[in-house]
Structure formats: structure tokens, C-alpha cells
Chain A
Amino acid sequence: MERVLVVVGASLGGFDAIATLLSTLSAGFPWPLAIVQHRSAEDVADTLPVMLQRRCALPVHEAEDKDPIVNGHVYVAPPDYHLLIDGGVFALSTEARVSLARPSIDVLFDSAAAAFGSSLVAVVLTGASSDGAFGAQRVKAAGGTLLVQDPATAESRVMPLAAIGAAAVDQIVPIGAMGEYLNRLAATRR
């Protein structure tokens, strides 16, 4: 079976968008998800994974260094670290912010594209930043699938529009239908 990874990037308005996406994934969703949501470096109380877990049937974790990427699990980047994909495990970095962000969506997408190539599905959600646009290019250059939240359904359209402008998007999907789109994609690629 093909080993697929889903990476998700979100900024302003991202919590609701991610929660909507996760709550509409089927309980048996087969792929792992790695999520970067821009947040304050001081948000260290594990609030994001705890809040998301309430809306999600799949187990949600904050990724730690060298954690194995397990199918059907959801991983959130910890605050103040870049999250990278290193073969079959996660890697963290405290290197400088990229586009003012740490974690950076570009850093996650670029490393995931290098590790998973055409077996990567990348999702750009709402945000008032252009983080993710470079990453989207890398995903497409490596042969991956690029999905973008329909800007009309985004709290902030800037980030979806930047990704759409930067790379050849495979599908623009309203946020309410994103989970179902991934469910169907997983079903067809089994």
C-alpha cells in the first residue's frame, strides 16, 4: 500500500477551519496528518491539541522530536519550533522564523515534499500571511497533490490566494467539504 502523508497549514482563523476539517474526517481515515497552525510562542499549555481532540475521532498529539509518523494519527507542530518531516519520523528545529513564523508552513511543506514526493497531499487553509505559497510550489514540483481552501469560505483569504497564485492547485475546496474530499481521496488511493 502506498504510504501517504497529509500536511496542513493554517494561520488566522485556522482553529475553526482545522476543527471543521478534522471533525469531517471519517473515524477510519487511513493517513497521518501533520498540521502547522501559526500561534504564539507562549502557547505552551498544550491547548491546541487538547481543543482539537474534542472535535476529532483520530488521536491528536503535539509532535515531539523523532516521533514516528503513525497512520491515522494527527500531529500538531509545537509552539516556537519548526516541524519537519525526516523520512518516517518528525524532526524539530529552533532555527530562525521563516516569513515571521515558527512553526512555518513552508518549512513543513518543503521537508514533506522532499520525503514523500508524489505521495504527499498538502492542504492550505485560511490565513493572513503568504506562508505556504513557497511550500505549495515545492509540493507541486515534487509531484504531490495540492488542495486549497476556497477563499470564499476562509476567515482570511490572503493565504489561500497566495497559494493559488504560486502553484498549480489540484482542487479548491470549501472548508465544509475538505474532510469529505480527503476521505474520498483516501478511498480511491487505497
Chain B
Amino acid sequence: MSDAREALEIELLTEGIFRHYGVDFRHYAFASLRRRVWNSVHAEKLVTVTQLLDRVLHDTDAMERLLLQLSVNVTSMFRDPSFYRAFRDKVVPLLRSYPFIRIWHAGCSTGEEVYSMAILLEEEGLYERSRLYATDMNEAVLAQARKGIFAMNVMPEYAKNYALAGCKAQLSDYYLARYDFALFRQSLRRNVVFAHHNLVTDGSFNEFNVILCRNVMIYFDRELQGNVHRLFHASLRRFGVLALGRKESLRGTAHEHDYAELDAVEKIFRRSA
């Protein structure tokens, strides 16, 4: 059926990276990993996956480039506006009863969705008592996220998402336009901790009221998804909220029955056991 040699080369690549650098892509979903591996092969102007393994083992700069290529960092502010609407309608009322709110944004990439959540919490009057832990496996994207500077040319799209998300002001109230860039207000970051955390290899580091992990685990295979769900379950307070991507589910995981559905379409769950 499938190309056995290609599968072998990709397996050797992930094994080699893991053994030499300790970065573990061995349980990434094969089909999408395969695409990104080939994108890297072409970007490095190579012909085979095995040549890519040779290069990254001997050239740490090439490894840095591969790391960026293999981790998916496509995101936008208020991605899926209806998710933010559902969060406002169904999760915010639950959060109001807590004196202190801890939120883990796992796989935050360049931070667009973290700033979106900060804005939402600010508008709901909850930001002051919230702390957002935004983590990613990639230091380069975290450095970008900390800056809170995004390209000006995507702001119209983000402003449209912001309005569809049912937000209350203007997105432009939250940033300063400087040439081609939008600098988001420092104050949005005062309760955000950006930190390195790898879902594949790192454990639990706190107990949270909310865990957001949308469109991150689609890049993992079932076994790794199971491990991450175990980690989230252990990191979530009872009655805490877990938000997945719109096309993800808990089906088939060991914790399928430990959550109740808060919003079936937006895939927002509440820990019940």
C-alpha cells in the first residue's frame, strides 16, 4: 500500500533527531509530518529524507530550521470566532465564581490566541484575577509571542474575527499602529506567563481552571494524544474546563467519560470526574 521506503526514512529521521537532540517527533501523525518533512527537504535543496537526517545531525542551524518547520505555527487572533462566543456564554459564567483563575494555553505558538483570550477576559472584568500560562515547545515562537507585535496587514481580518466573536469595543483599542506593525498593549501581558513546555516530554506543572489546546493534538498520533489527555486530566481541577479544536474529540481516549460536554460544536468540555 504505502511507500515503505519513505516511511522508513521518516522513521529514521525522527529517531535520529530524538537520539541526538532529545526532541521527540516519533509520535506525530504521519500524514501531516510527512508533508512538513518534504517541505524541509525541498527548502534545504536536498533530494531525500535521508540527506536531511545527515544534514541536521551535523549542522545545528539546519536543525533549528527543521524544528521550526516541523512544529506548526499557523494561528490567528480570535480564530473560530464562534468558539470565543461560546467561551463567553458558557465558560465565563463558571469562572465568575472563582476568586483566582488559572488558564493554561498549551501550544500557544506566536501568541495570537493568548492575546485574544486576554482581551476577552479584560472585557468580561475577569482579567485582574486571571493568570494565563502560555506554553510552547519552540523558543523562537515564544520570543515572538512575548513581544505582542503582529503584522498590520492581518489586522482587518483579526478585527472582523473580533467583531464576530461578540467582543465589545474595537480591536484597534488594544494596539498601536507603527508602520507595518501592530503593537499590542503591554497591560494585556501583565498576567501572562510565556514559558517553554513540550507536551510530548514535559509533565504537569500546576492545577488549572481552564486548559486551552485547540488544533495542537491533530498533529499527534493516537498514542501521544492519549498521553496528553492524561496530562491534561491530571492538570485540571475538578469542574475545570478543557477546550479542544472544533474537529477534535475525546472519543477513544481513556478520559472520554471523565468530562461532560459544555458545547458540543465548539468542543468545550468540563471535567466531571
Contacts and interface: CB of A to CB of B under 8 A. Distances in A.
B82 A44 contact: yes
A96 B217 CA distance: 17
A142 B3 contact: yes
Contacts of B227: none
A81 interface: yes
Contacts of A62: 247
B153 interface: no
A83 to B, nearest CB: 10
- A: contact size bracket: 20 to 34
Given A93-B218, A115-B1, A117-B3, A66 B246 contact: no
A82 B35 CA distance: 12
A87 B3 CA distance: 11
Nearest to A77: B247
Interface string B23-40: 000000111101110000
Nearest to A117: B1
Contacts of A65: 217-218, 245, 247-249
A63 B247 contact: yes
B80 A115 contact: no
Given A86-B30, A119-B1, A44 B35 contact: no
Contacts of B34: 111, 114
Given A85-B31, A94-B72, A111-B34, A44 B80 contact: yes
A9 interface: no
B44 interface: no
Interface string B238-263: 00000001111100100000000000
Given A78-B246, A115-B1, A91 B72 contact: no
Contacts of B30: 86-87
Contacts of A7: none
Interface string A92-132: 11111000000000010011001111010000000000000
A65 B1 CA distance: 22
A95 B109 CA distance: 13
B176 to A, nearest CB: 28
Interface string B217-238: 1110010010000000000000
- B: contact size bracket: 20 to 34
B138 to A, nearest CB: 15
A70 B216 CA distance: 25
In the complex, which of the residues B2, B31, B80, B215 has the most CB atoms of chain A within 10 Å of its own CB atom? B31
Given A44-B82, A117-B1, A142-B3, A91 B31 contact: yes
A159 to B, nearest CB: 21
A155 interface: no
A64 interface: yes
B246 A114 contact: no
A78 B29 contact: no
Contacts of A78: 246-247
Contacts of A82: 32
B252 A66 contact: yes
B31 A95 contact: no
Interface in B49-86: 72, 74-75, 80, 82
Given A87-B2, A93-B219, A111-B35, 16 more contacts: A65-B247, A65-B248, A66-B225, A80-B80, A86-B31, A86-B32, A91-B218, A92-B218, A94-B74, A94-B215, A95-B74, A110-B35, A111-B31, A111-B34, A115-B2, A119-B1
23 contacts: A3-B1, A64-B248, A65-B217, A65-B218, A65-B248, A66-B225, A80-B80, A84-B32, A84-B35, A86-B29, A86-B30, A87-B2, A91-B32, A91-B218, A92-B218, A95-B32, A95-B36, A96-B74, A110-B35, A114-B2, A114-B31, A115-B31, A117-B1
Interface of A: 3, 44, 62-66, 78, 80-82, 84-87, 91-96, 107, 110-111, 114-117, 119, 142
- 7 closest A-B pairs by beta carbon, nearest first, are A86-B31, A84-B31, A111-B31, A93-B32, A91-B31, A65-B218, A64-B247
